[in-house]
Amino acid sequence: MLTLRVIREEKEKVISRLKIKNFDATALVEQIIACDDRRKEYQYSKDNLQNQLNDISKSIGQLYAQGKREEADSQKVKTVELKEQVKELEQKFAEAEAELNGLIVLLPNMPHESVPAGKGENDNVIVKEGGVIPELSVKKPHWDLIKELDIIDFELGTKITGAGFPVYKGKGAKLQRALINFFLDEAEKAGYEEILPPLLVNEDSGFGTGQLPDKEGQMYHATVDNFYLIPTAEVPVTNLYRDVILSEKDFPVKNMAYSACFRREAGSWGAHVRGLNRLHQFDKVEIVQIRKPEESYAALEEMKDHVEGLLKKLKLPYRILKLCGGDISFTSALTFDFEVFSAAQERWLEVSSVSNFEDFQTNRLKLRYKPDNDKKTKLAHSLNGSALALPRIMASIIENYQTEEGIVVPEVLRAFTGFDLISK
């Protein structure tokens, strides 16, 4: 969430920048400032009364010592009244603070200055394209190919669980595992430490990274224990550092994690979500960095280059987009999406988002660092990216590498699969 200092001291900037996200913050910002003013008034009044109470309490003992019992008793009655007033002000302060916190979390993160204006995905800006779109001698969509080759079974998944929960079989399962191992190995080479996190998180973790209260409708909720199935490993990995104060020597913090991810994807229908294009459960390798503010945008470029390197090694046609204000997430300051071209579907499929959240998440997480020779702590910056999400990468490989003999396995994956062709 945005810091109260920024909201108060840079009010016009907050309102102006959030218009890029098509969010009119004017009334909400005024509400927040008014609520904070009210909270401060309660605090000031309470402190004044508490000081009076302390002074009177000290004088009572002196009055008794001087034999002024009647005056001392009168002062004791006054302390009872003051204590009641202090209690009332404490209650009003707590209510104002709760209201203030409830209002602040409704404000999205401010977009970076470079984020273009726009209403939605059609206004995103292509910043780079790479790879070669293959010319196929056979051109079948992956949902037909996986059925012919019996490598992924949606009907079995529906039987076991429901729609959007596929079963990977035989060489399909091995190809999936090969991709996971390849992504993890490449991230390790890039200096990321591997984490194997829990797949369920508590409410505080969901709040810390901004999934709650913004995206609760997209998350599976285990209501008895009030846990949430993770929509991405970003949530548990970033929460490793909740309520932590880092030192200079801890930077850079670079973590990677493979996990299953769970998303309800409510309201997702149509041809564009067929097959592997959109699932309720899928695998993903996530990379997360915690950096000092002055280093975070260099880190974002580093993460962007890392994801691009994976797509180059897989020899998939790709493009990189800078998301416009209307398509960027609630929590992000700047996001680059990666898309690969599906030669059989003849459309681009999103396979990664790489984002800098600046101090929006870390303010929620109370994640700070202490600069050398400085007594004050500062908020760190958090970043994450998919490196990569598996379903659409699988779909693209299956479609782009299809031949009359079967599906050719990308060269970089053969050491992990132990085979170079998936055929009948």
**Residue 193 CA to chain centroid, in angstroms?**
19
Q: Are 245 and 369 in contact (CB under 8 A)?
A: yes
DSSP string across 162-220 = -TT--EE-HHHHHHHHHHHHHHHHHHHHTTPEEE---SEE-HHHHHHTT-TTTSGGGS-
Residues 329-384: pLDDT tens digits? 999 999 999 999 999 999 999 999 999 999 999 999 999 999 988 889 999 999 99
Assess whether pLDDT exceeds 90 at residue 221: yes
Assess whether pLDDT exceeds 60 at residue 266: no
Out of 202-216, 226-240, 313-327, 330-344, pick the least confident.
Answer: 202-216
Query: What's the mean pLDDT in 5-14?
Result: 97
Query: What's the mean pLDDT in 197-214?
Result: 94
**pLDDT band at 196, cuts 50/70/90?**
very high
Q: How far is CA 266 from CA 215, 218, 280, 368, 390, in A?
A: 11, 7, 9, 35, 20
The pLDDT score that the predictor gives to residue 268 is 52
Average per-residue pLDDT in the chain? 94
Query: What's the mean pLDDT in 81-92?
Result: 93
Cα torsion 79, 51, 95, 6 to 10°: value is: 180
Assess whether pLDDT exceeds 70 at residue 299: yes
Query: What secondary structure letter does DSSP report for 47?
Result: H
The pLDDT score that the predictor gives to residue 307 is 98
**pLDDT band at 240, cuts 50/70/90?**
very high
Give φ, ψ of 225 to 5 degrees.
-100, 0
Out of 122-136, 268-282, 372-386, pick the least confident.
Answer: 268-282
The pLDDT score that the predictor gives to residue 60 is 80
Domains of the chain: 4-104 (1.10.287.40), 121-422 (3.30.930.10)
The pLDDT score that the predictor gives to residue 241 is 98
Place of tokens 């969430």: 1
The pLDDT score that the predictor gives to residue 378 is 96
Query: What's the mean pLDDT in 397-409?
Result: 97
Write out the E strands in 55-181. Answer: 125-130, 152-153, 167-168
Query: What secondary structure letter does DSSP report for 176?
Result: H
